[in-house]
Amino acid sequence: MPEEIIIVRGNSKLAGTVAVSGAKNSALKLMAASILGQGVSVVHNVPLISDINIMADVIRRLGATVERDGHTLAIDATNVTECETPYELVSKMRASISVLGPLVGRFGRARVAMPGGCQIGARKIDMHMIGLEALGVNFEIDHGFLEATTPNGLHGAHVVLEFPSVGATENMVMASVVAEGATVIENAAREPEIVDLVNMLNAMGARVSGAGSSIIEIEGVPLQSMHPCEHTTVGDRIEAGTFLAGAALVGGPVTVTGIDASFLRMALMKLDAMGCEIEVEGDSITVSRTEPIQAIDIQTLPHPGFPTDLQAQYMLLASLAEGNSVISENVFENRFMFASELVRMGADITIEGHHALVRGVERLQGAPVSSTDLRAGAALVLAGIAAEGETHVHEISHIDRGYEDYVGKLRSLGADVERTVLP
């Protein structure tokens, strides 16, 4: 099959205003949650990206119908009868396992292919299982499938998560909303996407409080009282952060709209420390820079700490900073593959375990590079915009998984970037 790549001509500017799409990591879970609604739920502001298409296939496979009208999805979960998600879909997208919680909630059972490792680490699902087991779910592994049953129904429980896992928190919330009695999740993930999911579940009849804090409390309601709803997905803080990193890289000013700046507090603090000007007004954020980039230390942590999904974009900034930066990756054990691609463009980066020592260089050079994951891919295109000469970014299907019309949005900001199919 002919390969499509992104060609970036460097030394270019980024300036202007760009609208942020709905959050990928929210919309995927909102689609899964619609299974509990047993009717037609309507979700607005859903990004046009390939991961959403995979989730649509996952829930269609369960018997739902999914219709798209622009950025709005109508999901009819009335005829969901199947409980199985096959390997061919889970292997394409790990987030497919977020149907586990709603399926055990609605049917008391589920059969979901076990996700394997992925490029950014082993990514176990032990915390999903421990949390759901506390609610009464029995698991068996059957030829690569996780078989979930609830011999005595779902009941509330008090669970302390070992780590505030986003996926485990979401699966537990989606199952416990229809469990008998009360559930408390301690050390819950606090990401804005969890708040968005809980807002939708509450609009469907659930009784959940505390989302956005580390203790989430759920008062179970009967499944029959859950109903479909209409919901608008929150803006994508990682997409916003990516464009703002681009502004910091080449000077901007770039304004992103459709994003709550409180979702990006730590990322904006770091841009400020790197020497950027930041303005927040309503749902828009503007970043510009006139002074040299200052070196900075960053450690990725669960929200509200610095997001791992912006680590590559900020490593790029550090690579052109004055001085040395240390970046520590604490969320995924193997998320530095981006560094070796950036080194091919002239960056000076040494990896020691989960720390990266980034010594600032004066310039990067265009080169052929490969997206190693979706955020790395987006950061490589930005690197090409700042570099001298031409950069060819390969494996761009990673970028299409999570960024709606990335090339079009960058072009609208003045970047010289295009998609092309290689002969």
To the nearest whole angstrom, how small is the minimum distance from the Cβ of residue 238 to ligand UD1?
7
Number of alpha carbons in the 13 Å side-chain half-sphere of residue 176:
29
3-state secondary structure of 250: helix
Please check if 331 is assigned to a binding site. Answer: yes
To the nearest whole angstrom, how small is the minimum distance from the Cβ of residue 354 to ligand UD1?
11
Please identify, using beta-carbon distances, which residue of 135 and 168 lies nearer to ligand UD1.
168
Could you say which of 83, 118, 229, 276 is catalytic?
Answer: 118
Please check if 13 is assigned to a binding site. Answer: no
Please check if 237 is assigned to a binding site. Answer: no
Please identify, using beta-carbon distances, which residue of 13 and 355 lies nearer to ligand UD1.
355
Residues 6+ apart with CB under 8 A from 324: 295, 357, 358, 359, 360
To the nearest whole angstrom, how small is the minimum distance from the Cβ of residue 150 to ligand UD1?
19
To the nearest whole angstrom, how small is the minimum distance from the Cβ of residue 313 to ligand UD1?
13
Residues lying near ligand UD1 in the complex (CB under 6 A): 25, 28, 95, 121, 123-128, 163, 165-168, 308-309, 331-332
Please identify, using beta-carbon distances, which residue of 166 and 356 lies nearer to ligand UD1.
166
Provide the token pair at 408.
Answer: 């079009």
To the nearest whole angstrom, how small is the minimum distance from the Cβ of residue 166 to ligand UD1?
4
CB neighbour burial string for 369-397, b if at least 16 within 10 angstroms, e if fewer:
bbbbbbbbbbbbbbbbbbbeeebbbbbbe
**Contact present, 217 and 208 (Cβ < 8 Å):** yes
Rounded to a whole number of angstroms, the CA Rg of the chain reads 21
Please identify, using beta-carbon distances, which residue of 305 and 389 lies nearer to ligand UD1.
305
Query: Catalytic site residue 118?
Result: yes
Please identify, using beta-carbon distances, which residue of 25 and 41 lies nearer to ligand UD1.
25
Phi, psi of 290 (to 5 degrees): -120, -25
**Contact present, 381 and 27 (Cβ < 8 Å):** no
Please identify, using beta-carbon distances, which residue of 124 and 363 lies nearer to ligand UD1.
124
To the nearest whole angstrom, how small is the minimum distance from the Cβ of residue 28 to ligand UD1?
5
The continuous run of DSSP H or E covering 240 comes out as helix 237-250
Which residue is listed with tokens 């009717």? 39
Residues 6+ apart with CB under 8 A from 252: 14, 15, 246, 286, 287, 288, 289
Closest C-alpha among 165, 205, 108, 133 to residue 331: 165
**Contact present, 114 and 146 (Cβ < 8 Å):** yes
- Using CB atoms, what's the residue nearest to ligand UD1? 167
Please check if 25 is assigned to a binding site. Answer: yes
> What is the arrangement of strands in the sheet containing 324-328, beginning at the earlier edge strand?
298-299, 324-328, 355-359, 348-352
Provide the token pair at 79.
Answer: 């005829």
Please check if 171 is assigned to a binding site. Answer: no
Point out the annotated binding site for phosphoenolpyruvate: 24-25
Point out the annotated binding site: 24-25, 94, 309, 331
Point out the annotated binding site for UDP-N-acetyl-alpha-D-glucosamine: 94, 309, 331
Write out the catalytic residue numbers. 118
